[in-house]
Chains A and B, each alone.
Chain A
Amino acid sequence: MGKLARGVALIGAGMSKFGAFPDKTSRELFVEAFIDARNSVDNGIDNKDIEAMFLGNFSSDLFEGQVHTGPIMADWVGLVPKPVTRTEGACASSGIAIRCGVMAIASGLHDVVCVAGVEKMTNLPTSRVTDTLGAASDVEYEFPVGATFPGLYATIATAHMKKYGTTIRQLRTIGIKNHDNGKLNPKAQFPLSIRDLMEKRIKKLKEKGEEAPSWRDEFDFLEDPRANPVVAWPLRLYDCSPITDGAAVLFLAAEEVARKYTDTPIHIIGSGQGSVQLALHDRADITTILAAREAAKMAYRMAGVGPEDIQVAEVHDCFTIAEIVATEDLGFFKPGEGGKAAEEGVTARDGEKPINTSGGLKSKGHPVGASGAGQAVEIWKQLRGEAGKRQVPDVEIGLTHNVGGTGGTCAVHIYRR
Chain B
Amino acid sequence: MEVLTPEASVKSFYDFLKERKIMGTKCKKCGEIYLPPRPLCPKCVDSELEWVELEGRGKLVAFTSISVAPTHMLEAGHTRDNPYVFGLIELDSGPTVSALILGVDAKKPENIEVGTRMTVEFVERDDRVLLGFKPA
Q: Are A130 and B64 in contact (CB under 8 A)?
A: no
Q: Which of B84, B88, B97, B115 contacts A146 (CB 8 A)?
A: B84
Whether, in the assembled complex, A150 has its beta carbon less than 8 Å from a beta carbon of chain B, the answer is: yes
Q: Which of B69, B80, B100, B114 contacts A145 (CB 8 A)?
A: B100
Bound: A151/B101 CA distance, A: 13
Min CB distance, B100 to chain A, in Å?
5
Min CB distance, B47 to chain A, in Å?
18
Chain A residues with CB below 8 A from B132, complex form: 145
Whether, in the assembled complex, A211 has its beta carbon less than 8 Å from a beta carbon of chain B, the answer is: no
Query: Which has the most chain B C-beta neighbours within 10 Å: A134, A138, A152, A155?
Result: A155
Q: Are B71 and A280 in contact (CB under 8 A)?
A: no
Chain B residues with CB below 8 A from A202, complex form: none
Bound: A144/B71 CA distance, A: 11
Bound: A148/B78 CA distance, A: 13
Whether, in the assembled complex, A227 has its beta carbon less than 8 Å from a beta carbon of chain B, the answer is: no
Q: Are B70 and A134 in contact (CB under 8 A)?
A: yes
Among listed A82-90, A228-236, A390-398, interface-contacting one: A228-236
Whether, in the assembled complex, A127 has its beta carbon less than 8 Å from a beta carbon of chain B, the answer is: yes
Whether, in the assembled complex, A43 has its beta carbon less than 8 Å from a beta carbon of chain B, the answer is: no
Bound: A410/B52 CA distance, A: 34
Min CB distance, B17 to chain A, in Å?
11
Q: Are B74 and A127 in contact (CB under 8 A)?
A: yes
Q: Are A145 and B131 in contact (CB under 8 A)?
A: yes
Chain B residues with CB below 8 A from A199, complex form: none
Q: Are A230 and B86 in contact (CB under 8 A)?
A: no
Tally of chain A residues near chain B (CB < 8 A): 38
Chain B residues with CB below 8 A from A147, complex form: 86, 98
Whether, in the assembled complex, B68 has its beta carbon less than 8 Å from a beta carbon of chain A, the answer is: yes
Whether, in the assembled complex, B1 has its beta carbon less than 8 Å from a beta carbon of chain A, the answer is: no
Query: Which has the most chain A C-beta neighbours within 10 Å: B68, B110, B128?
Result: B68
Q: Which of B10, B63, B98 contacts A158 (CB 8 A)?
A: B63
Q: Which of A158, A229, A279 contacts B62 (CB 8 A)?
A: A158
Bound: A373/B36 CA distance, A: 35
Q: Are A144 and B130 in contact (CB under 8 A)?
A: yes
Bound: A231/B66 CA distance, A: 6
Interface set, chain A 219-262, CB cutoff 8 A to B: 229-235
Known: A140-B10, A141-B36, A159-B114. A130 touches B70 (CB 8 A): yes
Whether, in the assembled complex, B3 has its beta carbon less than 8 Å from a beta carbon of chain A, the answer is: no
Q: Are A230 and B67 in contact (CB under 8 A)?
A: yes
Whether, in the assembled complex, A48 has its beta carbon less than 8 Å from a beta carbon of chain B, the answer is: no
Whether, in the assembled complex, A6 has its beta carbon less than 8 Å from a beta carbon of chain B, the answer is: no
Chain B, residues 73-102, CB within 8 Å of chain A (1/0): the string is: 110001010011011100000011111100
Q: Are B64 and A233 in contact (CB under 8 A)?
A: yes
Which residue on A lies nearest to B84, using beta carbons? A146
Whether, in the assembled complex, A286 has its beta carbon less than 8 Å from a beta carbon of chain B, the answer is: yes
Q: Are A146 and B100 in contact (CB under 8 A)?
A: yes
Q: Are B98 and A232 in contact (CB under 8 A)?
A: no
Q: Are B98 and A234 in contact (CB under 8 A)?
A: no
Min CB distance, A416 to chain B, in Å?
37
Known: A134-B70, A145-B131, A146-B69. A159 touches B62 (CB 8 A): yes
Min CB distance, A380 to chain B, in Å?
35
Whether, in the assembled complex, A131 has its beta carbon less than 8 Å from a beta carbon of chain B, the answer is: yes
Chain B residues with CB below 8 A from A143, complex form: 70
Chain A, residues 273-301, CB within 8 Å of chain B (1/0): the string is: 00000011110001000000000000000
Q: Which of A141, A142, A144, A233 contacts B109 (CB 8 A)?
A: A233
Known: A158-B114, A159-B62, A281-B98. A144 touches B128 (CB 8 A): yes
Interface set, chain A 119-135, CB cutoff 8 A to B: 126-128, 130-131, 134
Bound: A230/B10 CA distance, A: 33
Q: Are A127 and B69 in contact (CB under 8 A)?
A: yes
Whether, in the assembled complex, A200 has its beta carbon less than 8 Å from a beta carbon of chain B, the answer is: no
Whether, in the assembled complex, A11 has its beta carbon less than 8 Å from a beta carbon of chain B, the answer is: no
Q: Are B62 and A230 in contact (CB under 8 A)?
A: no
Q: Are B131 and A156 in contact (CB under 8 A)?
A: no
Q: Are A154 and B64 in contact (CB under 8 A)?
A: yes
Whether, in the assembled complex, A334 has its beta carbon less than 8 Å from a beta carbon of chain B, the answer is: no
Min CB distance, A165 to chain B, in Å?
12
Bound: A286/B64 CA distance, A: 14
Q: Are B83 and A155 in contact (CB under 8 A)?
A: no
Bound: A325/B96 CA distance, A: 21
Min CB distance, A121 to chain B, in Å?
15
Whether, in the assembled complex, A206 has its beta carbon less than 8 Å from a beta carbon of chain B, the answer is: no
Q: Are B68 and A234 in contact (CB under 8 A)?
A: no
Bound: A162/B100 CA distance, A: 20
Q: Are A159 and B61 in contact (CB under 8 A)?
A: yes
Chain A residues with CB below 8 A from B72, complex form: 144
Min CB distance, A408 to chain B, in Å?
14
Q: Are A229 and B67 in contact (CB under 8 A)?
A: yes
Can you identify 10 A-B contacts, CB atoms within 8 angstroms? A130-B68, A131-B71, A141-B13, A143-B70, A144-B130, A145-B99, A231-B66, A232-B68, A234-B64, A280-B98
| In the complex, the 8 A-B pairs of residues with the closest C-beta atoms, listed nearest first | A154-B64, A159-B62, A233-B109, A233-B65, A162-B114, A146-B86, A281-B96, A155-B62
